[in-house]
Amino acid sequence: MSLLPLEAALERLLSDVSPITDEELVPLREATGRVLACDVSALRTQPDFNASAMDGYAVRSAQTASPPSVLSVIGESAAGHAFGGRIQDGEAVRIFTGAPVPDGADAVLIQEDAERLGERQVRVLAVVMPGENVRPAGNDFRQGDVLLQRHARLTPGAVALGASGGHPRLPALRRPRVAILATGSELVEPGAPLGPSQIVASNSYGLAALVEANGGEVLDCGIAPDRVGDIRAQIDRALRDGADIFVSIGGASVGDHDLAAKAFEESGATLDFWKVAMRPGKPLMAGRLGPMRLLGLPGNPSSCMVAATLFLRPLLRRLACLPPIVERTGRLGSGMRANGVRADFVRSMLNPAGDRETPEVLPLDRQDSSLLSIYARAQVLIHRPPHAPPASPGDACRFVVLD
Ligand SMILES: Nc1nc2c(c(=O)[nH]1)N[C@H]1C(S)=C(S)[C@@H](COP(=O)(O)OP(=O)(O)OC[C@H]3O[C@@H](n4cnc5c(N)ncnc54)[C@H](O)[C@@H]3O)O[C@H]1N2
Ligand code: MOO
């Protein structure tokens, strides 16, 4: 099978994908990172009374026009305990930050500008203007105001705003469910004892982190040995459990024990493509089974993560109704050789001292696709198109940001 150009592969993968529209109410504590299903309006006004912004004395501002003057202290208003009466000329109410400003008062004199004279009196030492140190009712928002927009991704601040608006739960789109299966008889879980010629299954953890960072939910299918039946069983399980995407890791190449394509086909899936003109990540495959998408990622750790960044991430973000992550332009920090037939994605770092708009991009010196130590240091991938001519330091380049 010949290599499919990257753009054609992406087009095939994404052409008929639309965002999930199912909605669910999510408790505030679980809402960060979720995508809102609809606009959220305030159920209450904040603050719903005129509130003091400072500790001091609620006064009629006109009464402070020619300090020093003395006012009678007729009571106290604390947060949660309003003063019930009304202030008249010549009177003040001791008040604390966040407390309701009593009727009749229009300003708060901060206590640094006041001198308390026993229980009953206070000396005014400064002029206060009408409205000074008062947060009027509705200062933040009013009941019915749209606080959060449909399809916004909830930040910590947005969650706090939703809470303040009176919502214990927020309406979110269902997250795309991504089943992740590591395949390979040599794999063991991190921390488990390793037998001869065994290795740690690290990729599932990298992929799970990528899925969660991009609005998805992980269904962990563990590790399957190199047996078609075991891989198929996990495909069936993922379909039963309502996965939107099934991702296998490893067994994507052409060796005798590379069984992903066979397992996909025997499970009844159609294979959309297999093998993309890119480095790393060439043996990538994509298919579908009923409503579920399948991605077969290569096993080499960097190949797996790069293929996931380029294919799983956009698929997931589209399903999750998140904006695509677009390539950016930078300047090469070092020269590069002419490229071959595969688009090359070069693990690189950004020069922290460089220009932020058009950063200098520094390729890491070793690019072998087995090297997680290099991949983990990389912040970006320089995208060198097929047959790109040799490039010199300072030349423009395109790059993809990793997360
Ligand atoms: N004759 C050919 N051989 C290979 C070709 C080819 O075109 N012709 N392509 C090479 C390329 S490119 C890649 S990439 C690899 C990918 O192969 P597979 O997807 O079949 O990966 P495996 O053979 O299963 O594993 C490769 C490597 O990665 C390790 N691995 C696998 N799964 C995990 C995991 N979950 N966590 C960590 N490491 C994992 C595995 O032990 C192997 O060391 O094929 C080339 N060969
Ligand atoms: O594509 Mo493989 O991913 O070159 O190592």
Which domains occur in the chain, in start order? 6-20+175-319 (3.40.980.10), 24-45+154-173 (no CATH), 51-135 (2.170.190.11), 328-401 (2.40.340.10)
Q: What is the 266 CA–ligand 1 centroid distance (Å)?
A: 21
Residue nearest to atom 2 of ligand 2 (CA): 280
- Closest by CA to 306, choosing from 266, 261, 254, 343, is 343
Instruction: Please tell me whether residue 91 adopts helix, strand or coil conformation.
Output: strand
Torsion sign over Cα 331, 312, 272, 326: negative
Given a cut of 70, is residue 275 above it in pLDDT? Answer: yes
Beta strands in 290-384 (DSSP E): 292-297, 328-332, 343-350, 360-363, 380-384
pTM for the model: 0.93
Residue 388, classified by CB atoms within 10 Å of its CB into exposed (0-12), middle (13-18) or buried (19+), is: middle
Q: What is the 368 CA–ligand 2 centroid distance (Å)?
A: 8
* Ligand 1 shell residues, CB under 6 Å: 182, 184, 186-187, 199, 201-204, 249-255, 258, 280, 282-283, 298-301, 303, 369
Residue 109: what pLDDT? 98
Instruction: Report the residue among 300, 304, 310 best suited for mutation to probe ligand 1: largest number of ligand atoms under 8 A from its CB.
Output: 300
Instruction: Report the residue among 253, 342, 344, 369 best suited for mutation to probe ligand 1: largest number of ligand atoms under 8 A from its CB.
Output: 253
Average pLDDT over residues 288-303: 97
Instruction: Report the residue among 3, 342, 369, 375 best suited for mutation to probe ligand 2: largest number of ligand atoms under 8 A from its CB.
Output: 369
Q: Which ligand is nearest to the CA of 194?
A: 1
Torsion sign over Cα 361, 364, 345, 225: negative
Which atom of ligand 2 lies at the shortest distance from residue 370's CA? 5
Instruction: Report the mean per-residue pLDDT for the chain.
Output: 97
Residue 78's DSSP bridge partners are 81
Q: Which ligand is nearest to the CA of 298?
A: 1
Quick: pLDDT tens for 3-34. 999 999 999 999 999 999 999 999 999 999 99
Residue 288's identity, in one-letter code, is R
Quick: pLDDT tens for 51-82. 999 999 999 999 999 999 999 999 999 999 99
Which atom of ligand 1 lies at the shortest distance from residue 282's CA? 12
Task: Work out the pLDDT band at 1, boundaries 50, 70, 90.
Answer: low
Roughly how many angstroms between the first and final C-alpha of the chain, as a whole number? 32
369 lines ligand 2 (CB under 6 A): yes
Quick: pLDDT tens for 148-184. 999 999 999 999 999 999 999 999 999 999 999 999 9
Dihedral angle at the C-alpha atoms of 347, 215, 311, 305, nearest 10 degrees? 40
Q: Please, are residues 297 and 284 in contact by the beta-carbon 8 Å criterion?
A: yes
Q: Which ligand is nearest to the CA of 302?
A: 2
Dihedral angle at the C-alpha atoms of 380, 381, 385, 386, nearest 10 degrees? 170
Backbone angles phi, psi at 30, to 5 degrees: -110, 10
